[in-house]
């Protein structure tokens, strides 16, 4: 139990860390474009980003399973030409997690950028800064609470994922068996005591993360008021 428990939670935290890092890389530019550009297709892009918030995770997982299965055109091409297999692998878990947690990263950052005064960017451009420099040296430092919220919520949400990771990753110990899957597996086996250990650990972990976010944001608000 101890070895399996440690292995499962190590894999869960690894998945959350890799997913959060990729979401920062993808989410910051995407949130910036959504906050600063006026496109005719912007509502469609925002709806696509937000879709995981309203869709059952099993729906996303099912279509990812179909798309990347070795029997499908895309899955077969990836396997034959790039030797990449995403179904029932850690890479598949990461892909599913990035898609499912994307709105938790993009929306807080987009909201933070939209609430900034446009004069900040204008002043930066006047001083000769590029758009890239303005984003990373002027705008992002002024929305640290939004960045923190997006990062922590994405991490915590990935830790608790179930439907997506079950569909595309399955339940392979040491490879794709994350904590949420372990709880389901133990309950099916009527091992409620073991399931309770997993569930209680996730509950406490998630609660501590959320407390940390609220505490940091509250301190920042107080510092701003002073």
Residue by residue, pLDDT tens for the chain (226 residues) are: 567 888 999 999 999 999 999 999 999 999 999 999 888 889 999 999 999 999 999 999 999 999 998 888 888 898 899 898 999 999 999 999 999 999 999 999 999 999 998 889 889 999 889 999 999 999 999 998 899 989 999 999 999 899 899 999 988 888 999 999 999 999 999 999 999 999 999 999 889 988 888 887 787 777 666 5
Contacts of 208 (CB under 8 A, 6+ apart): none
Q: Which pLDDT value is given to residue 223?
A: 65
Q: Enumerate the H helices of 37-128 as residue ranges.
A: 42-54, 57-68, 73-82, 90-114, 118-126
Q: Which pLDDT value is given to residue 28?
A: 96
Q: Which pLDDT value is given to residue 4?
A: 83
For the chain, the domains span 2-55+102-162+173-225
- Report residue 54: phi and psi, to 5°: -115, -20
Cα 72 to chain center, whole Å?
A: 26
Q: Which pLDDT value is given to residue 1?
A: 54
Per CATH, the number for 2-55+102-162+173-225 is 1.10.3720.10
Q: Which pLDDT value is given to residue 145?
A: 87
pTM: 0.90
Contacts of 210 (CB under 8 A, 6+ apart): 152, 156
């Amino acid at each position: 139990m101890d070895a399996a428990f440690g292995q499962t939670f190590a894999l869960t935290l690894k998945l959350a860390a890799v997913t959060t890092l990729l979401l920062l890389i993808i989410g910051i530019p995407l949130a910036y474009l959504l906050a600063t550009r006026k496109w005719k297709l912007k509502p469609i892009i925002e709806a696509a980003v937000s879709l995981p918030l309203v869709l059952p995770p099993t729906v996303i997982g099912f279509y990812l399973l179909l798309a990347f299965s070795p029997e499908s055109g895309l899955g077969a091409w990836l396997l034959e030409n790039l030797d990449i297999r995403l179904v029932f692998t850690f890479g598949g878990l990461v892909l599913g997690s990035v898609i499912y947690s994307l709105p938790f990263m993009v929306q807080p950052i987009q909201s933070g950028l939209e609430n900034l005064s446009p004069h900040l960017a204008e002043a930066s451009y006047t001083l000769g800064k590029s758009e890239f420099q303005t984003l990373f040296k002027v705008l992002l430092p002024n929305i640290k609470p939004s960045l923190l919220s997006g990062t922590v919520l994405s991490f915590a949400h990935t830790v608790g994922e179930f439907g997506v990771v079950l569909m595309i990753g399955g339940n392979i110990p040491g490879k794709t068996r994350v904590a949420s899957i372990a709880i389901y597996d133990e309950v099916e086996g009527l091992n409620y005591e073991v399931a309770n250990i997993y569930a209680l650990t996730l509950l406490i972990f998630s609660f501590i993360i959320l407390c940390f976010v609220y505490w940091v944001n509250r301190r920042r608000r107080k510092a701003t008021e002073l």
